[in-house]
Amino acid sequence: MQRNRLTTTAVALTAALGLAACGAGNDASTATAGAASTPAATAAASSGSTPAAAASNTSNASKTSNASTSSELLADNAKAHAEEGDPAYDAEDVVKVRLQDGASSASTQTGVQIDGDTVTISAPGTYVVSGTLTDGTIVVNSADEGRVRLVLDNAAVTNSQGAALNIVAADEAVVVLEEGTTNSLADGTGYDTSAEDAPNAALFSMADLTIGGSGTLKVTGNTNDGIASKDGLVILGGTVDVTAADDGIRGKDYLVVQGGTVTVTAGDDGLKSDNEDDDTVGYILLAGGTTTVDAGDDGAHAEGDLAVTGGSVTITKSNEGLEGANVVIAGGTSSVTASDDGLNATQGSSSGGGGMGGGGMANDGSQLVISGGTLVVDSGGDGLDSNGQTTISGGTTVVYGPTMNGNGSLDSNGGIDVTGGTVLAAGSGGMAEAPDTSSTQGWVQLGFSSNVTAGQTVQIVSGDTVIASFTAKKDYSNLVFVGDDITSGQSYDVYVGSGSLGSDQLATFSLGGSTDGATKVGSVTAGQATGGMGGPR
């Protein structure tokens, strides 16, 4: 991309500064790398109680080149199939299935066939499943219209030859986790998944799949995925703990987390939606509940759009944290740790780079939109990376970016437009980028001649008022701050303090604070880029 290097005066920080620690500040708005205390702004992504369609992928480059708000990007995707009441059932109208090696049984033969340790459900209805199969499987194969509801009531199934729960066909399948129960599904190691539509997960579904209730489900995918649906997948509730050799939880058409507690440990992507044939699908929506991911590759990867609109999302380990054709943060509390890019919006059409094949210098039409919520990113590569445009209009965003000069805490091929919200982004200086000068929200960029080291506190001051205080957990040489109290064209003083801070005081950001014990090292003019790759194009 074409960028202009600006030759404004940088704020100098010399290695000889041996300054005492400055006041940490006790303002109400504080964010840390582990969790941010700023109240999350929640953006409605659904109508009533129906889990919503999420971000759109409408031939993404043509649509998103002009879209700049989360509502525009969340408008066009296919509506998710599930509703809040889907897990509810009448206890008087159920078929009870008891699992037992070599001796499984059912309260009625209607809709249930038992062949050795294979239990097949062939009709719509509600089936309460309990007991254990140490090497067997539950198969759902219902050609009739109507919901198949499986209530897991302390059920444990392991299948050495394939999926523990294999939904071959159903109008819609609902797995209910009975209150107070712990259930488990596990597949074997190394079985053949090469055939088209072959089951490749411990819980596999060819139909729309909903998981709800308030019990616990532990899923182990030893060969490939943990939970996979070839249609849509919605999690409404329950405690879902997934460990997988490949992807943790995959919904081909879409993956929606509306509630519950979801924990994923995956060898490849943690959360995934990979339908790229239809521009209304392939999306991930994290709208509620608590989601925690430890991934060998991407924390969450959508071929379409990826949106966080509510709940708590924590990516504890990943290559790239949140990646999609468009990435939207509209609410909730998100913490992302990534060895490469923290957030990556890419259509995958630019040359070079990694991830989805993007990362080139051309604007590929993708959008990174932040309109609400609290986001904390700790990245080894770019912190916020868009191969198209970045638009920020609300929320609180803190980025602990890269220490190497080949990346920046902010990186956007199509420019960074900021109209609201608070942003604090620190990282290396070689590729540092600032917001566009056309941004209506005030910003400052500080370019330091030598690294600010972990434990030192940098403060931006107007007169006697501390606008913001920041203590990073790793070294950086460039800092961008965007906030309501910054006015373009005005000069702001920069103070630096250092000392013996405890580990609990590192990685903190607050609006306000005190300059006690800190030393003024220079001044900076709002709206002017200092070093790096500059801002306006």
pTM: 0.86
Q: Both tokens of residue 376?
A: 């904390």
Model pLDDT for residues 71-105, shown as the tens digit of each residue: 777 788 999 999 999 999 999 999 999 999 999 99
Give the whole-angstrom CA distance, residue 230 versus residue 207. Answer: 7
For residue 423, name the pLDDT band (cuts at 50, 70, 90). very high
pLDDT band per the 50, 70, 90 thresholds, residue 144: very high
Rounded CA-CA distance 333/352 in Å is 32
- Side-chain half-sphere CA neighbours of 511 within 13 A: 15
What is the C-alpha separation between 426 and 478, in angstroms, rounded? 6
Cβ within 8 Å of residue 9, ≥6 positions away: 522, 524, 530
* Region of residue 461 (left: phi > 0; alpha: psi -120 to 50; beta: else): beta
Least confident of 156-160, 248-252, 498-502: 498-502
Residue 65 has pLDDT above 80, yes or no: no
The H or E element spanning position 21 is none
Q: Is the dihedral of CA 428, 269, 79, 62 positive or negative?
A: positive
CB 478 within 8 A of CB 449: no
Per-residue model confidence as pLDDT tens digits over 340-351: 999 999 987 433
pLDDT at 535 over 80: no
The Cβ of residue 413 has, within 10 Å, a number of other Cβ atoms equal to 25
pLDDT given at position 488: 96
φ, ψ for residue 73, nearest 5 deg: -80, -15
| Residue 80 DSSP class | P
Torsion of CA 184, 187, 189, 194, to 10 degrees: -150
List the structure tokens of 518. Answer: 């800190």
The angle at the Cα of 101, spanning 100 to 105, to the nearest 5 degrees, equals 40
**Residue whose token pair is 């202009």:** 4
pLDDT in tens, 31-49: 543 333 322 222 333 333 3
Q: How far is CA 448 from CA 13, 186, 406, 427, in A?
A: 6, 53, 17, 11
**DSSP designation for 7:** B
Q: Write phi, then psi, for 64 (nearest 5 degrees).
A: -80, -10
Q: How far apart are CA 110 and CA 421, in angstroms?
A: 58
Structure tokens at 192: 């053949």
Q: How many CB atoms lie within 10 A of CB 516?
A: 10
pLDDT of residue 265: 98
**What sign has the CA pseudo-torsion 126, 203, 287, 254?**
negative
Q: Which amino acid is at 29?
A: S
